[in-house]
Structure 1
Amino acid sequence: MNANELRSKYIEFFKSKGHAQIQGKSLIPDNDPTVLFTTAGMHPLVPYLLGEEHPAGKRLTDYQKCIRTGDIDEVGDPSHLTLFEMLGNWSLGDYFKEGAIEMSFEFLTSPQWLGIPVEKIGVTVFEGEGDIPRDEESAAIWKRLGIPEERISYRPREDNWWGPAGSTGPCGPDTEMFIDMGKAPCSPECAPGCSCGKWLEIWNDVFMQYNKNAEGEYLPLARKCVDTGMGIERTVTILNGKKSVYETGIFQPIIGAIEKASGYTYGTDEEKDKSVRIIADHTRASSFILGDPKAVTPSNVGAGYVLRRLIRRAVRHGRKLGITGLLLSPIAQVVVEEFKGPYPELEENRSRIIEELNKEENKFLETLQKGEHEFEKLLPNLLKDPRKIMSGRLAFKLYDTYGFPIELTEELAAEQGMTVNRDEFDEAFRKHQELSRAGSEQVFKGGLGDQGEMAVKYHTATHLLHKALKTVLGDHVAQKGSNITAERMRFDFSHDAPMTKEEIQKVEEIVNEQIQKNLPVTMDVMSLDEAKKNGAVALFGEKYEDQVKVYSVGDFSKEVCGGPHVENTGSMGKFKIQKEQSSSAGVRRIRAVLE
């Protein structure tokens, strides 16, 4: 079964069980300062898992593109990926453990769907902790369905518990499904959940049944939800009996393009195979990021920095395969062809993908030339050292100042009969990483947006600001992104010139006027066409459902939005713009606070 068949079978199955198919969302999350990218299929649904009503109902299903950047350097082995697709189904206060487990079991084992033999399936459930009991309810359901006791493994919190997203909020146990890969058990204790390779996880059902409060107590939720996730790449690998995601039809066309560019045949040398896998994964991820409706471009901060790292690491591994010309754009063309069916935005943004990849690759090639030039300048002094060892600190300076990779420094040194003090370089690099991590740990820590009172006020303020900007600057203004914490808001919008002091002051006055009027904030559910006819603003490039929520702030503003919002503007405080600056070409950025 290929990825397209799995994707459509999954959606078809859950639609047959009364689930509404909803649209997967952007890779760039709105209003969540804790992550750079959408990291899981449930990420865009957090407001609804926390109590918001979804316009499509209580049973939902979709597929979602996700990116995880926890450790880009791990990618290159047979299993790690930066970009992956998640299939998901949700119950928002509808069915719970029994319904979720029964449907999971049917989809996995029924000949009409995946047809996996029951004897190959094992599961894990939560073993309990403190006042939270062992999840005997899930175990009993699995037994009733035909999973024997010896293939049901009770696991601790780190394996079978989800959440809360922050320090408080919804959370609960999960049950995970594994496939027996046919390997001999590693020990008599080997059971589903063991990491020896005998059992491979295929699916995860999360049961959000508790709310953790500020005192650390776990209180039962009145409205219990289910959130599930099945990774497409991993599942296709299992269903096709492959050892690696790179052996599946998902990656084979991409690898074929790399073979064509390099003249190397994948599968003949492990070190070169690793380079092929890195190029394949990183080019696919970069193409999806650049092809996203809310695309970021390569830069030295945030998501743009991750994108730059992906592109440059792919180029560097291309050089290892002997590729000296532009590498990424021909491979990206294959990515677009392969994935434009489920993700039409790739085709729509094909020219941007190719243009940005070429631009960044050329920039990096210039960096490499500069680094080589600097190395040549250092060479006369280096050759005076009778030990023929280049200082690791000097190699790190080339890396830190010019972005010159250590592997290339080692190559150039080897050509002169020299080695690099790698331990010294690694020590300098480790210190550099610690400093970087300390500075950005809040950004990279993962987790979900602040749903507290101040964040809700700021969310409502984005609507007032959007309308005020249109009033002062013109109807061409459109929201290009926002980022909210409990302390401040950031708002990006289309406009091709810096705002004047008078314009900034006028926008502030309009927003504060609406706050002082104590306008009611109301919500209606309607079709997207109806919303547009009623004058509601919808974000360009956003994927919407058939039925959408429309939030109106008095008669002042009307936007298609998921929420949440304050009930009246009077509670918001005084709006103050702290900074207005350029964000990118044709896009301005406002930072503001509520005092």
Structure 2
Amino acid sequence: MSADYPSMTTAEIRSKFLNFFEERGLKLYPSSSLVPDDPSLLLANAGMNQFKEYYQGKKTMKEIGAISCQKCVRTNDIDCIGEDGRHLSFFEMLGDFSFGGVSKQQACTWAFELITKEFKLPLDRLYFTVFTEDDETHDVWRSLGVAEDHISRLGEDDNFWAAGPTGPCGPCSEIYFDMGEEVGCGSPDCKPGCDCDRFLEFWNLVFTQYDRQEDGSMPELPHRNLDTGMGLERMAAIMQHKTANYDGDLMQHLIKLGEEISGKTYDADDYSGASRSLRIIADHSRAVDFMISDGILPGNEGREYVLRRLLRRAVFHGRLLGIEGAFLTKFIDEVNAQMGEAYPELLKNVALVKGIVASEEERFSTTLDNGRVYLDEALDALADGAVLSGDVAFKLHDTFGFPIDLTVEIAGAAGHDVDMDGFTACMEDQKARARANAKGDAWGSFNDVWVELSDKVAATEFDGYDNDVIEGAKVVALVCNGESVDSAAAGEDVEVVLDRTPFYAEMGGQQGDAGELSAEGVALTVSDTKNHNGLYAHVAHVAEGTLTVGATVTAALNAERRGFLRRNHTATHLLDAALKQVLGEHVSQAGSLVTPEHLRFDFTHFEALSSEQLKAVEDLVNQQIFASKPVVTRVMGIDEAKAAGAVALFGEKYGDVVRVVSV
């Protein structure tokens, strides 16, 4: 078996992958935030998340395809992390995607070229799987020189991807690397798909070409899609001649830091004890850093709870290693040193991240102490050798944030087992309630009328900074009850899309404009304006006449209401600046609500403000208001704006040209 192939750092692998496909005409997209636009997702967990609307033909990509290196967090197997060399909570997913622009033949050819000519992996250690019925992909791999005994056909469970019971689906082909007999199970039948560690799957090419219906039929999608994913950490292990994700360069830097702080020694072959804890801290510290940098704060629900759980689990395993006092911010510094160049948001938000981590670590130390008191009382009440109930263990987990493995360890030291079946039953009840409350499906939000309209109708031209009234605006679309219609009559509620408008759509927390649309014999009252993929929808009631697509109207906004909105919007920026001055530059806007009557400003900080700090912030804002200084507006390029010190707000998306307001 050949072992002669070059070693590459994680950074070199990331760069080579992206450059390879960019040179072939695919467009490079930056990683999306871990906070996804898709309301059905808790966290970004795959590179394809930001391209869903293209898959179903709702939007059309101008280029032949896209590439990205997506930061991901997956939460379904947190308890497995550290117990093997593969599971991670945070990982990077390299992907190339196409929506009818790249054929299956071309996709496989490029994949083969990249891994054999650029990464120079030996062909005799590469194995390929295809869906049982997918002769087409099988024949492509054979034509590229892959031996028949290096291709396996697997069934639907392994090599057929589906979004769910219905929706986009299609066959996939996985590429494996033979890690060597020494890490295998020894069975003569060992091959890709075996549960042992010999064959490591590092790249999956999904050919999404069908749209499964409720009756089980699978008509073709409007075009054949390509969705590939290469796990960067897995590829790094291969390219660095290692056998596990944790043995690659990035993770080893973090594990070595853990060794220095704890005094413990890491054993790559030991999946228990200190080595397990060192893996968990290395993995979780990356996830924590990236999640907070993307605006997620510790909490008790949803993604906020995931963050808190990861953070506390890392602290707990520090305790198991014998680390006294706060330590996790040292790992944040190391993550930034290793990954800050590729992800500059880590360096930008370092003060915020370290402040929140330090505060949460201190708070959890108190939680551990309180939970220990409750646990000790419960153990003292048990007879010798009695089992601690699952209800008590669950309350420790749910109320005190006490990890179950810590409960098991302490109870065991006192001579008691824990009713894990009872604990698991309580956890399943909680999960069932969470699933019952979950809304939407993974693809439904991309099926609405606005996604389809945005691919057919040009984006609305906003001209409301200089004009309160625009005459001759053309009606380009009408939507009633979620359906595109040709007309709306008196008495009906309708969303009106114009080719240009003075109405500001709800953005940045500011409520949309209100006003009137009118034409001869037609009058509509607009109560709100919303932005759907660049289309400004005037939420209106038809008071008189019938409005039809293609008609022209006069659009007049309520100028007095707009004035109140503008003043309160500017006040949020004054608050932002004052909070930075009083609390520190780590403060950033995490959300806001701007109405004509009042404003709400959400911001990131790691503790409640004191009364003195509140007064200082109020005084600074009022000083600026009473100074009545002019508000200056300029239009400039995004890079020029950043160089001038303009503040970009979390969650907002900006084009190449931006409007900068200076106060």
User: Normalising TM by the smaller chain, what interval?
Assistant: 0.7 to 0.9
Change over 3 Å in CA distance of 1:145–1:538 after alignment to 2: farther
Written as runs of structure 1 = structure 2, the 5 A alignment for 1:203-242 is 203-242=203-242
Change over 3 Å in CA distance of 1:539–1:138 after alignment to 2: farther
> Please, which runs of 5 or more residues in structure 2 have no aligned partner?
1-7, 455-463, 466-480, 483-489, 510-525, 543-588, 596-663
- Once residues 246 and 329 of structure 1 are traced to their aligned partners in structure 2, the CA distance between those partners, rounded to angstroms, is 20
Aligned pairs, how many? 489
What is the SS of the residue equivalent to 2:305? Answer: helix
- Once residues 41 and 87 of structure 1 are traced to their aligned partners in structure 2, the CA distance between those partners, rounded to angstroms, is 7
- Once residues 507 and 232 of structure 2 are traced to their aligned partners in structure 1, the CA distance between those partners, rounded to angstroms, is 30
What is the SS of the residue equivalent to 1:430? Answer: helix
Change over 3 Å in CA distance of 1:366–1:571 after alignment to 2: same
- Once residues 274 and 160 of structure 2 are traced to their aligned partners in structure 1, the CA distance between those partners, rounded to angstroms, is 39
Written as runs of structure 1 = structure 2, the 5 A alignment for 1:496-511 is none
Displacement of 1:441 in angstroms is 2.5
- Once residues 344 and 439 of structure 2 are traced to their aligned partners in structure 1, the CA distance between those partners, rounded to angstroms, is 31
CA deviations 1:281-308 (Å, max 9, x no partner) are 111111110111xx22111111111111
Q: Which residue of 2 aligns with 1:89?
A: 96
Change over 3 Å in CA distance of 1:314–1:411 after alignment to 2: same
Alignment identity in percent? 36
Residue 520 (str. 1) matches residue 497 (str. 2): yes
Written as runs of structure 1 = structure 2, the 5 A alignment for 1:556-567 is none
Residue 69 (str. 1) matches residue 75 (str. 2): yes
What is the SS of the residue equivalent to 2:200? Answer: strand
Q: Which residue of 2 aligns with 1:334?
A: 334
- Once residues 212 and 232 of structure 2 are traced to their aligned partners in structure 1, the CA distance between those partners, rounded to angstroms, is 31
- Once residues 339 and 440 of structure 2 are traced to their aligned partners in structure 1, the CA distance between those partners, rounded to angstroms, is 27
Q: Which residue of 2 aligns with 1:267?
A: 267
Q: Which residue of 2 aligns with 1:146?
A: 145
Residue 50 (str. 1) matches residue 56 (str. 2): yes
Letter in 2 for 1:176: E
CA deviations 1:222-278 (Å, max 9, x no partner) are 411111110100011011111211111111111122122212222296411001101
> Please, which runs of 5 or more residues in structure 1 have no aligned partner?
128-133, 461-469, 472-486, 489-512, 524-533, 541-553, 573-583, 591-595
Written as runs of structure 1 = structure 2, the 5 A alignment for 1:175-194 is 175-183=173-181, 186-194=186-194
- Once residues 402 and 453 of structure 2 are traced to their aligned partners in structure 1, the CA distance between those partners, rounded to angstroms, is 42
Q: Which residue of 2 aligns with 1:483?
A: none
- Once residues 537 and 188 of structure 2 are traced to their aligned partners in structure 1, the CA distance between those partners, rounded to angstroms, is 59
- Once residues 189 and 376 of structure 1 are traced to their aligned partners in structure 2, the CA distance between those partners, rounded to angstroms, is 51
Change over 3 Å in CA distance of 1:521–1:140 after alignment to 2: farther
Do the aligned partners of 1:126 and 1:175 also contact (CA within 8 Å) in 2? yes
- Once residues 3 and 443 of structure 1 are traced to their aligned partners in structure 2, the CA distance between those partners, rounded to angstroms, is 40
Letter in 1 for 2:131: F
Letter in 2 for 1:435: D
- Once residues 339 and 34 of structure 2 are traced to their aligned partners in structure 1, the CA distance between those partners, rounded to angstroms, is 15
- Once residues 454 and 123 of structure 1 are traced to their aligned partners in structure 2, the CA distance between those partners, rounded to angstroms, is 38
Written as runs of structure 1 = structure 2, the 5 A alignment for 1:540-551 is none
Letter in 1 for 2:150: R
Change over 3 Å in CA distance of 1:435–1:589 after alignment to 2: farther
Written as runs of structure 1 = structure 2, the 5 A alignment for 1:414-563 is 418-422=414-418, 424=419, 426-441=420-435, 448-451=442-445, 456=450, 516=493, 518-520=495-497
Between structure 1 and structure 2, the one with the greater Rg is 2
Change over 3 Å in CA distance of 1:381–1:209 after alignment to 2: closer
Displacement of 1:313 in angstroms is 0.9
Q: Which residue of 2 aligns with 1:123?
A: 128
Letter in 2 for 1:288: F
- Once residues 353 and 324 of structure 1 are traced to their aligned partners in structure 2, the CA distance between those partners, rounded to angstroms, is 21
Displacement of 1:588 in angstroms is 5.5
Do the aligned partners of 1:521 and 1:569 also contact (CA within 8 Å) in 2? no
Q: Which residue of 2 aligns with 1:23?
A: 30
Change over 3 Å in CA distance of 1:443–1:261 after alignment to 2: farther
Do the aligned partners of 2:129 and 2:153 also contact (CA within 8 Å) in 1? yes
Q: Which residue of 1 aligns with 2:299?
A: 299
What is the SS of the residue equivalent to 2:170? Answer: strand
- Once residues 118 and 303 of structure 1 are traced to their aligned partners in structure 2, the CA distance between those partners, rounded to angstroms, is 42
Q: Which residue of 1 aligns with 2:17?
A: 10
Q: Which residue of 1 aligns with 2:166?
A: 168
Displacement of 1:56 in angstroms is 5.4
Do the aligned partners of 1:151 and 1:192 also contact (CA within 8 Å) in 2? no
Do the aligned partners of 1:162 and 1:173 also contact (CA within 8 Å) in 2? yes
- Once residues 155 and 393 of structure 2 are traced to their aligned partners in structure 1, the CA distance between those partners, rounded to angstroms, is 45
Do the aligned partners of 2:35 and 2:43 also contact (CA within 8 Å) in 1? yes
- Once residues 217 and 190 of structure 2 are traced to their aligned partners in structure 1, the CA distance between those partners, rounded to angstroms, is 34
Do the aligned partners of 2:167 and 2:443 also contact (CA within 8 Å) in 1? no
- Once residues 314 and 143 of structure 1 are traced to their aligned partners in structure 2, the CA distance between those partners, rounded to angstroms, is 47
- Once residues 215 and 207 of structure 1 are traced to their aligned partners in structure 2, the CA distance between those partners, rounded to angstroms, is 22
Change over 3 Å in CA distance of 1:47–1:566 after alignment to 2: farther
Letter in 1 for 2:91: F
Displacement of 1:62 in angstroms is 1.2
What is the SS of the residue equivalent to 2:444? Answer: coil
CA deviations 1:155-196 (Å, max 9, x no partner) are 101111111x24432221111111122216844543333333
Displacement of 1:96 in angstroms is 1.5
Displacement of 1:379 in angstroms is 6.9
- Once residues 192 and 27 of structure 1 are traced to their aligned partners in structure 2, the CA distance between those partners, rounded to angstroms, is 31
- Once residues 93 and 144 of structure 1 are traced to their aligned partners in structure 2, the CA distance between those partners, rounded to angstroms, is 22
- Once residues 119 and 541 of structure 2 are traced to their aligned partners in structure 1, the CA distance between those partners, rounded to angstroms, is 53
Letter in 1 for 2:168: P
What is the SS of the residue equivalent to 1:251? Answer: helix
Do the aligned partners of 1:61 and 1:88 also contact (CA within 8 Å) in 2? yes
What is the SS of the residue equivalent to 1:79? Answer: coil
Displacement of 1:30 in angstroms is 1.4
CA deviations 1:430-460 (Å, max 9, x no partner) are 1211111101226789962414665849999
Do the aligned partners of 1:456 and 1:566 also contact (CA within 8 Å) in 2? no
What is the SS of the residue equivalent to 1:419? Answer: coil
Name which of structure 1's ranges 440-449 and 255-264 shifts more when overlaid on structure 2: 440-449
CA deviations 1:375-403 (Å, max 9, x no partner) are 55567655xx4x26463355554444433
Do the aligned partners of 2:504 and 2:529 also contact (CA within 8 Å) in 1? no
Aligned-pair Cα RMSD in Å: 3.8
Change over 3 Å in CA distance of 1:63–1:521 after alignment to 2: farther
Residue 254 (str. 1) matches residue 254 (str. 2): yes
Letter in 2 for 1:137: E
Do the aligned partners of 1:22 and 1:56 also contact (CA within 8 Å) in 2? no
Q: Which residue of 1 aligns with 2:199?
A: 199
Displacement of 1:19 in angstroms is 1.1
CA deviations 1:193-215 (Å, max 9, x no partner) are 33333321121111122121232
Change over 3 Å in CA distance of 1:402–1:246 after alignment to 2: same
Letter in 1 for 2:157: E
Letter in 1 for 2:55: L
Do the aligned partners of 2:142 and 2:148 also contact (CA within 8 Å) in 1? yes
Q: TM-score, normalised by structure 2?
A: 0.66
Do the aligned partners of 1:125 and 1:154 also contact (CA within 8 Å) in 2? yes
Letter in 1 for 2:22: K
Do the aligned partners of 2:85 and 2:246 also contact (CA within 8 Å) in 1? yes
Q: Which residue of 2 aligns with 1:103?
A: 110
Tell me: higher relative CO, structure 1 or 2? Use CA pairs within 8 A at least 6 residues apart: 1
- Once residues 264 and 356 of structure 1 are traced to their aligned partners in structure 2, the CA distance between those partners, rounded to angstroms, is 27
- Once residues 393 and 97 of structure 2 are traced to their aligned partners in structure 1, the CA distance between those partners, rounded to angstroms, is 51
Do the aligned partners of 1:32 and 1:449 also contact (CA within 8 Å) in 2? no
